[in-house]
Structure 1
Amino acid sequence: MKLRLRFIIFSLVLIVVSFLAVWASVKSLAENIIEQWAVRYAEKQILFDRERTLQPIMREIVLSRQFASSIVIRAFAENPDDPALRATAIQEMENFRFTFAEANYFVAIKQSGEYFHNDSNNTYAGRQLRYLLDSSRPQDSWFFKLIEQRRNIHINVNPDVALGVTKLWIDVLMMDGNKVLGVVGTGLNLTRFLNEIVASTDEGVTNLFIDSDAAIQLYHDRSMINFASISKDHVQKITAHQLLDSPDDKEKLTQALKQARSKRDLVVSDFVMVKNTRNLMAIAYIPELDWYEVTLIDITKLLPISKFSGIFIVYALSIVSLIILFNLFLRRTVLKPLRHLEQAMAQVKQGQPLNHQLEGQGEIGALMMHFSQMAASVHESKLELEAKVQQRTEALERLSQTDTLTQLLNRRGMSEYLESALIDNQAGFGFIWLDVDYFKEINDLYGHAQGDYALKEIANVLNEQVASSGFCARWGGDEFLACLPQSNDKQLFSVAERIRLLVTQLSLSSASNNRVLPLSVSIGVHLSREEESLEQALHCADSALYQAKAEGRNRVCCYSEG
């Protein structure tokens, strides 16, 4: 055999062997890149979906908590046989209905077993009492389970047979201290959630939401959803474990749920088999709902290895044309850039931005450029998501501290402000406690709309007189509380008297009966003293208010001992 032929054969063998070796190494590298990219993609996707899920639900949770805190409805829940309280409570329910996103509500009373409901079409106007709850009826067991477990907030996917609707229900316990009065809340359209949150994903990506028992709550396949899961035994529930092939994978899911719950900011990921296909499973805990979001990614569909075939072909052609310079070429154009890429991947894996520019030539350079862009995009998305979460948190905090009618601080917001303000300023802190005179008559004669108008006008007067030197809040119902730091008795009385006089210049009128009703307020003031607690100071101001009302209303009274 001639040397040339031997060289040709040797070269061909070397080319084939080298090609196979490079094919195997690059394929392994590509799969590693794809897997690590899939992990980053899953983390980004699951955090994004968690924010999308929380945004509409958290708003409804905040409103449902306010609903459960309604003094009117709680009073009715304790005395359900009182016709006056019943009428007032139903009106309060209807007022709250328009604040919810889908304009529906439910109120379930523990003492009487009554279940009230109305929807966005006002279908049950005048017939808000829909039925009576029965502990022996399976479809009503959710109510008694919630009360038994004393779960303050519960998110439940449940069809209401009596009402003929299936919704994502937000259940909030209505409490009076430690006493459970009932359950209130609202419902969100299940189909919209499935379409917008669960079904709107890329090919090969499956999203589902499960509860603390791994029971499926939201999933594109409705037959797998656990409706009314709180009333089911564990053996009756369809869990996420049933989507996995092997017992080992099911154990991975169990451990991942525990890990995600213990480290709430962590996205836990692992590889599992789903229908004989290798999937990346990513899990994040949503503490606000006591749910988990689970994302299953079929990598072969999301980013198939065939997309890297061009790189393999270029490598093979490069080996054929430059076999003699193979080692040098490999060292300069492949091994060194890949080492930098591996270092960069390690930085990205640790959540750090790239601290140096990845450089390379040809296809490796293109791969590194794409990786750099992907890493920058992942880091930027992480920062954006963190900023959005911070913004949402701050917005929810402001919402929880603001009275929606008057835009003043609510009782919670004022209480928190007072607790922090009185730490450094115990004495000389002025309190003005204001109560609208004959407010019930205003509502009875002119309606709640005029009553709300009166509250807003009085709130404007109060804010104009106090905002520059203190702060004010709607304490509840028709009561307002203003505070003036570093005040004295003369200044405090002067401000209160000015507020009273300005309110007397306000009036309400009704086109139906041509009556004009002047507004007035009773005001109690108190200047805090050394070693006086916040509760004592508020009690003194409240006592002064009751004195003003007892002396004929429309006046200012200062607290005095005895």
Structure 2
Amino acid sequence: MRQSLTRKMNTMVLVIFLAMGGLITFGFMVLGQPIVDELGTSYAVNRVLREKSRVEALVEKEIALALKLADSPIIKKWCTDESDKRIKSLALSELESFKKHFKNHNYFLAMSHSGHYYFNDRANKYDPLRHRYTLHGKVEKDAWFYRMLKEVDDYELNLDINVFLQTVKIWINVIIKNRGEKVGVTGTGLDLTGFLKDVVYQSEEGVDIILLDREGNISAYKNPTYIEANARAKQSGKKIKIFDLLESQEDKERFASHLAALDKGTQQVETFKINVDGKSYLASGVRLANLGWQCFVLIDLPKILDLKTFTPVLGLMLVLLGIAVFLISWFVRREMLMPLSRLSDSAELISQRNYQVDLPEDKNDEIGALSRSFGQMAVQVRQYTENLEDMVEERTKSLTLANQALEFSNQRMTDSINYARIILQGVLPADEYLKAIFPEHVLVWQPKDLVGGDMYFVTRTPSGRIIVVGDCTGHGVPGALMVMSVQALLKRALKTVSPTDPSLVLTELNLLVKKTLNHDPASPVDSGLDIGICYLPDHNDEMIFAGAGMSIYIRENGKVTVIKPDRKGLGYRRSPDNYVFTRHQITGLKGKVFYLASDGILDQPGGKSGLPFGSRRFINFLESLANLPLERQGEAVYKVLLEYSGPREQRDDLVFFGFRA
């Protein structure tokens, strides 16, 4: 046996090693690429956000300075009265001061009234006291100024790419307003040539950066021919777009959707795979809001991360697996197989009724516990063999006494519950009293146990009749106690407030239940109920209804309508103290049948899927009762629930009350 078990263990160890090694290799091959893709995606997202921060940090400072310049009171006043020499001197000093802080140390200012254009740069080539030239609305190169006065409310950025000078400059144009009137445009020019060379042309191998405008035109890319061609093209339709570098229609549609998402601002970063210039890239893009550009980082994953890079990790994992399997095998053989072999010999002696065995008990583990158990078993088997009949007789007597005590306790409990049912039936209205107040009615009251927490109540007042149906917290004996408490509190509420307004009765009953049953906030029990109250005045063809979590169903001409209750339970801690329940007035009672029902019917599971009976099925059922006499509709309720439930037990207490006015 020992040789067989050892051989099985060696075979199992070999199989485990081969299986685990194969699974590790397979998992490495299958799961490694998604990990590489995930790392590449994280790198792409971080890289594109870094480039975005670099661009925005560069531009936003210039925009803030230009906005502050446009908001200068001196500049505004000079634009309003250009002839004032004192203001002009102050304004030019202001402009020269801002020039020192602009990154490229230049500024411009154009006045709407005169069209005068002032400009100065780092080299002070131009006399700041004289305007450089005058803008004219009919001159094409001056159209930007008049378009801004007409269309722009705060500021805009204009990109100026000079093919011959090989420069890229952004002009920050800010509207100057004086008391709401546009009186000029000021700003600065920001040279991005060196910055873009550093970002776009100096990126590391496997990483390409491309800048696009909102229409997908290429504004910056590693291939300068695209930039030069777009700078020469005056019309946007003739410019080279990113879509011109994509081969398949699927890639074009995918890129267009991500461009649109960035433009709408639904996502901060868009990351996806795409083929550009016939090469597969992982693309990650962000929107440069101030420039109106989108910046995309194109990652050539095989050059950045390759699955083969992690091959030494796979080798190390296989080596560690081999070492672990060997150590486990050695440990199992030493700590389990050898002690089990000794136990096997001892068990063989016990099977031959030799109970005087010497079992090894030196190990303080499960094997040692097993050895001690074998020793105890040997002693017990010897004792049981010698005293079996006495032990059986003693145990039989003990079980008989315990069974008699259990039957007595069960009988006492059953008697108590039966007595509680008698008391509860005494609290609820008797059939004769029901028929005296509502001659035409149907009642189904079926607790889940012998007693339950669903209730009904009818009474007559000097001016009319009242019907109440309620579903209290819990079922069984606790539910029955709730019913008796609520019945007493309901009668008290009817004496405290006018019984002709069910909404006031609900408000008062809510306060009474909370004070009586939920006065202790530390109690784990939160008791309450769902309830519906109807009041029918004697001399009016109308009915007043108010409900707290319980609807009323009205059938007329074979169709059922539902009046929804307030979605507030009654008496719970969370129920507002002074909540005003909705008062529903129902007129034209002749020919109508009214139904109130607890959720024991609606929530009863059944059918093939075990779904609740539900309100829609309940409404259809009520409509099917149109031609059935009211006194026979209770049988129909029992029948439809029995057929729907099938073998499933009743889930909750249920009460069903229908009546004609």
For the aligned pair, the TM-score class normalised by the smaller chain equals 0.3 to 0.5
TM-score normalised over the length of structure 2 = 0.41
TM-score norm. by structure 1 comes to 0.48
Larger radius of gyration: 2
